[in-house]
Amino acid sequence: MGHHHDHEHDHPHDSWDAMDPADPEAVVPSRRQLLKYGGVGATLAAAPAVLATPAASAKGNGKGPSGRTGGRSWRAGDHHIHSEYSGRFDTSTNPPTFAKGADAVYPIVTNAIMAKSFGLQWVMCTDHGGPTHSKVNLELAYPDLLKSRDLVPEVLQFWGMEFDAPQMDHHTLMIPRRSDEAQLLYDLESRYAKYDAFPTDPSRDTEAKMVEFLRYTQGMSAKPLVIAHHASRSAKGLGVWGQDTPGEFRNNQDAAPDVYIGFEGAPGHQAGPLVNEARGSYGNYPTHGGYDQMTAVVGGLWDSLLGEGRKWWITATSDSHVHWTRGGSDFWPGEYSKTYVNARQDYADIMDGLRNGRIFVTTGDLIDGLDFSAASAGRAATVGQTVQVKRGRGGDVTVEVRFTPRTTPNGNGDRPVVNRVDIITGEVTGPVSDREAAKNPTTKVVARYGKSDFRRQGKQYVIRHTLRDVTTKGYIRVRGTSTDEMEPAADGQESPWGDLWFYSNPIFVDVS
């Protein structure tokens, strides 16, 4: 966006509170035992103690401009979690024989209990597909989901799967909460998941089949959500794409703009470095600060999509299969990554929040709430929305960032501290001529605020920044970090707990 920018340096009256470093073992003893003894019986036995810990009661409770309307508040969740129904198929039999627990090991209810203990209010079961897996979901997994909903009613538990997308890497396929949700997923998985056919059907694995699937979902009255998983895990280098390409993302969203809404900004498997594996299982080209290169590089692919005016959102998930203390490379749902949605505690509004970008993401519980708004001449907008600016007169946009710091220990027993907040802007120039475009040269960090610039207001820290004389359409987004890295560096074997970032989704600016 064309503008000048002013800093308002508001200094805190009471800076970051020095708090006694509580013994993390004392805070979460039952959780540690639980990781040791791992089964569902141990989970259920330990749950009351786990749920009584301070960490469990810490919910995102941002009550700023976006937190007041209609009972909506920030609710943390995770839409990419595997259960024991991510298994293996023996295709020497007809039909194939399913072996439960061959890939991921935890019962659905175990995941729900652990999600609750780490402060999540909504989750989703996303098991892998395979030959005739649609029947496994319908006949075996779905009844277990219904039991889990009864046992853990505090956590909204969506039905869906990790969709084997034709010609692409995996995707979330989230089904709206309905009495016929099991049949809805069965119909989609059996007809469109590329590996569901037995024997194998190569015609199911084409870009045209993916577009056909998405056009069908766009026409459904109960529209699902589709979100790309670990989108550049198969990339061979920086900007050298693998299974997922910019052109596919554009084609997919054009086919289903109300369904195909974005990708994981922070993929799962974040505990990789704790077991000498790559963070995120990104073995070819690494993540940056735990985030996919498509998200983390300023002016990169995410900004290219936003620069077209696309409503393209990012999320953060666990991709939990097996906990890192039990031979895997994963954290429990909510233990490290959280996707916060501004919504009421009901299925429809959580999906509405995801669909419309009322989302921020964080790792390591760096913050518990983020209220981010942009205002011009009395008109305001928050994440996912558009602020209207009158060209010429009064073309200033005031950006306000309010974040809620963590006050209780995170999953590592730390109380992380935000070291810096960056305000990022880019221009919206309309559809690209090159469908594989992956850069937005107008995107830049326009302001960086350090700890001494944050002003304390109640439970939040506040930053205000003015974009002067805005004359072009654009967008504004915010990120923050516990590090002193100016840009998130490519990840090596450093602990994920020492490299924390949060990202907002964008606010769009329209100039008329």
| CA distances in angstroms from 312 to 27, 101, 122, 277, 315, listed in the order given | 38, 34, 21, 30, 10
414: tokens are 């730390």
Res 391: pLDDT = 83
Query: 4-511: which CATH number, 3.40.50.1820, 3.20.20.140, 3.40.190.10, 1.20.1250.20?
Result: 3.20.20.140
At 286-338, the pLDDT tens digits run 999 999 999 999 999 999 999 999 999 999 999 999 999 999 999 999 999 99
Res 364: pLDDT = 99
Res 23: pLDDT = 33
For the four alpha carbons of 440, 441, 446 and 451, in that order, the dihedral sign comes to positive
485: tokens are 């890295």
> What is the DSSP track for 407-476?
-S--TTS------EEEEEEEE-----SSTT----TT-EEEEEEEGGG-EEETTEEEEEEEEES--S-EEE
228: tokens are 């790309």
| 89 burial level (CB within 10 Å; 0-12, 13-18, 19+) | buried
Chain-centroid distance of CA 441 in Å reads: 25
Q: CB of 418 within 8 A of CB of 363? A: no
- In whole angstroms, what is the distance from residue 289 CA to residue 267 CA? 11
Beta bridge partners of 76: 340
- In whole angstroms, what is the distance from residue 19 CA to residue 182 CA? 48
Res 394: pLDDT = 65
Only one residue has tokens 């505690």, namely: 345
- In whole angstroms, what is the distance from residue 452 CA to residue 170 CA? 42
Res 69: pLDDT = 53
**Helix, strand, or coil (residue 259):** coil
Element (H, E) at 509: strand 507-511
Taking 50 as the pLDDT cut, the residues of the chain under it are 5-68
